Amino acid sequence: MLNRVRSAVAHLVSSGGAPPPRPKSPDLPNAPSPQTAAPPEAPRSPPATAGSGSAAPAKTVEARASFSRPTFLQLSPGGLRRADDHAGRAVQSPPDTGRRLPWSTGYAEVINAGKSRHNEDQACCEVVYVEGRRSVSGALREPSQGQGLCFYYWGLFDGHAGGGAAEMAARLLHRHIREQLKDLSCWSSQKEVTHESLVVGAIENAFQFMDEQMARERRGHQVEGGCCALVVVYLLGKVYVANAGDSRAIIVRNGEIIPMSREFTPETERQRLQLLGFLKPELLGGEFTHLEFPRRIQPKELGQRMLYRDQNMTGWAYKKIELEDLRFPLVCGEGKKARVMATIGVTRGLGDHNLKVCSSTLPIKPFLSCFPEVRVYDLTQYEHCPDDVLVLGTDGLWDVTSDCEVAATVDRVLSAYEPNDPSRYKALAQALVLGARGTPRDRGWRLPNNKLGSGDDISVFVIPLGGPGSYS
């Protein structure tokens, strides 16, 4: 069975060319820039027009580079071309030769089926050292030399309306987290504020500073579009999962599924959006109403009674339809088709500072939050085995794959490998991507049940939580 599974994965995953030496960035020692291929004839990336994270701004800004991928993939020029091929949709993973990702992390990605010109997902995986502002309190012993500490970092960034914001976040967000964590050295155990809450606050602050940097540099550096951000930080025995957008993280532990994030969409954040529209009606520009109705109100229904709900309601009630109720609803649509101001399908993330309502000058950014929700998992409270993993995926995975299906794939793939085989996590990441992508047929990419596979960019991290040498 072991050979059959390995042969199947090897047959489905296209192999890349010989990887070049890993480049170093002198100005970003902990943030290598994604690999870039920019043929002169390549057109600029158009704005995405479908999917939960899509946006439709009136204008787009030409990207700095036509196509870039995470440096740790070590793609050759031929590999970059294959990674940009919508027809073949070859799965990309780090090579077996060369340095492994921290904790033997598995990673795999695949480009979309034509939704956007290039893959707008980005990823980052780093070990980051933090120099303390002064001596560390207590008896902290870290692998770094001298004062300070280190943290392990994984990040997935799902771009929309261009890849500039995702690429910038992949390069720089962990540097903002590093800067904020310097204040941990000033922490004293006698204070009422816990060490955990300081780490959470540092991550939240880092997201805000990253978003502010994007706002400052969006013109000079052409940071187009925005991105969802899903970040994992491991520090002092605890895993911090920060999510802003509709990517998702789950822990699969001994077959049990532990959600580590929730999606932020117009549906899940309806009341927050409506409250802001109610408190600041000028943000609606006289074009939208903060109220929600089961369907669009027609002029002939003026004076009639109709179901509605506002920022205070979870249920529905009746009201008499007035003239201002004929405005377009702030939140419209259902499920993956739900949109804020008929434009964007996510409500948290980074960037989108230039995003306007189509054919309007009305900005959407005031309704979009850059702050993540941070969930904490204490690794020291449970004895993990090598089959316990944290799975991170952009919405391209979760659009067609349930948590239970991911857990079943975890069991199926990992059971086919020896527990101490570090390649098992890459094989699992590849299997998850392949399972969501499907296979090409006459009517598009299809899953085994003949349903449509994901036509979006798909990126997956598999982080092992147990086993020898995974963490200290």
Q: Residue 469: CB partners within 8 Å, gap ≥ 6?
A: none
Task: State both tokens at 22.
Answer: 């890993």
Specify whether the CB–CB gap between 156 and 392 falls below 8 A: yes
Residue of higher predicted confidence among 1 and 307: 307
Tell me which DSSP letter residue 301 carries. G
DSSP element (H, E) containing 433 = helix 424-437
Task: State both tokens at 306.
Answer: 């109709």
Residue of higher predicted confidence among 202 and 64: 202
pLDDT tens digit string along 404-461?
999 999 999 999 999 999 999 999 999 999 999 999 998 899 999 999 999 999 999 9
pLDDT at res. 149: 86
pLDDT at res. 16: 37
C-alpha to C-alpha distance for 317 and 329, rounded to whole angstroms: 17
pLDDT tens digit string along 311-363?
999 999 999 999 999 999 999 988 889 999 999 999 999 999 999 998 889 99
Task: State both tokens at 63.
Answer: 């990207």
| Percent of the chain whose predicted confidence (pLDDT) is above 90 | 71
C-alpha to C-alpha distance for 455 and 331, rounded to whole angstroms: 25
Specify whether the CB–CB gap between 399 and 389 falls below 8 A: no
Question: What is the value of pTM for the model shown?
Answer: 0.84
Nearest to 125 by CA among 89, 147, 99, 152: 152
Judged by DSSP in three states, 210 sits in helix
Specify whether the CB–CB gap between 364 and 328 falls below 8 A: no
Q: Residue 19: pLDDT above 50?
A: no
Least trusted range by pLDDT, from 16-25, 71-80, 373-382: 16-25
C-alpha to C-alpha distance for 41 and 61, rounded to whole angstroms: 17
Residue of higher predicted confidence among 208 and 468: 208
Nearest to 63 by CA among 49, 80, 47: 47
pLDDT tens digit string along 373-388?
999 999 999 999 999 9
Specify whether the CB–CB gap between 336 and 216 falls below 8 A: no
- Rounded to 5°, the CA angle 166-262-331 comes to 80
Judged by DSSP in three states, 444 sits in strand
The amino acid at residue 82 is R
- Rounded to 5°, the CA angle 393-399-402 comes to 75
Mean pLDDT, all residues of the chain: 84
pLDDT tens digit string along 157-171?
999 998 999 999 999
pLDDT tens digit string along 83-111?
999 999 999 999 987 688 999 999 999 99
pLDDT tens digit string along 248-294?
999 999 999 999 999 999 999 999 999 999 999 999 999 999 999 99
Torsion of CA 449, 451, 454, 459, to 10 degrees: -20
pLDDT at res. 183: 81
Q: Residue 296: pLDDT above 60?
A: yes
